[in-house]
Structure 1
Amino acid sequence: MKIAEVGNIVEFKEGLQGVVEKVNENSVIVDLTIMENFHDLDMEEKTVINHKRYKILNHPNEH
């Protein structure tokens, strides 16, 4: 299992995306405000996701 790093964009729960802000032992904290439709979703700005529950989409240094 590859663990995300700060700055990675991850996807979880069938299409939700966020930028990793903090990596904990068993989870990451992500900022969801990067999604274009964030304000339509009625969600908190940040959420915690277990390492088993997301997939890494890209790293900000990759193009």
Structure 2
Amino acid sequence: MKIAEVGNIIEFKDGLQGIVEKVNENSVIVDLTIMDNFEELELEEKTVVNHKRYTIKFNNN
């Protein structure tokens, strides 16, 4: 399992995408405001995603 790093864009739960802001032992904290339709979805700006539940879409390294 590849663990995301700060600045990576990940995808999780039915296509939601966000940029990783912090990496924890078992999860990452993700900023969802990068999505074009963020306002329409009425979600919180940030969320926590377990390492087992996302795929890395863009790796900035």
| Counterpart for residue 51 of structure 1 | 51
SS of the residue corresponding to residue 34 of structure 1 reads coil
Q: Report how many residues are paired.
A: 61
In 1, distance between residues paired with 2:16 and 2:32? 8
Q: Which stretches of structure 1, 4 residues or more, deviate above 6 A after TM superposition?
A: none
Cα distance in 2 for residues equivalent to 1:32 and 1:14: 14
What is the RMSD computed on CA atoms of the aligned residues? 0.8
Q: TM-score, normalised by structure 2?
A: 0.96
Point out where structure 1 has 5 or more consecutive residues left out of the alignment: none
Identity of aligned residues (%): 77
C-alpha displacement at 1:13, in angstroms? 0.4
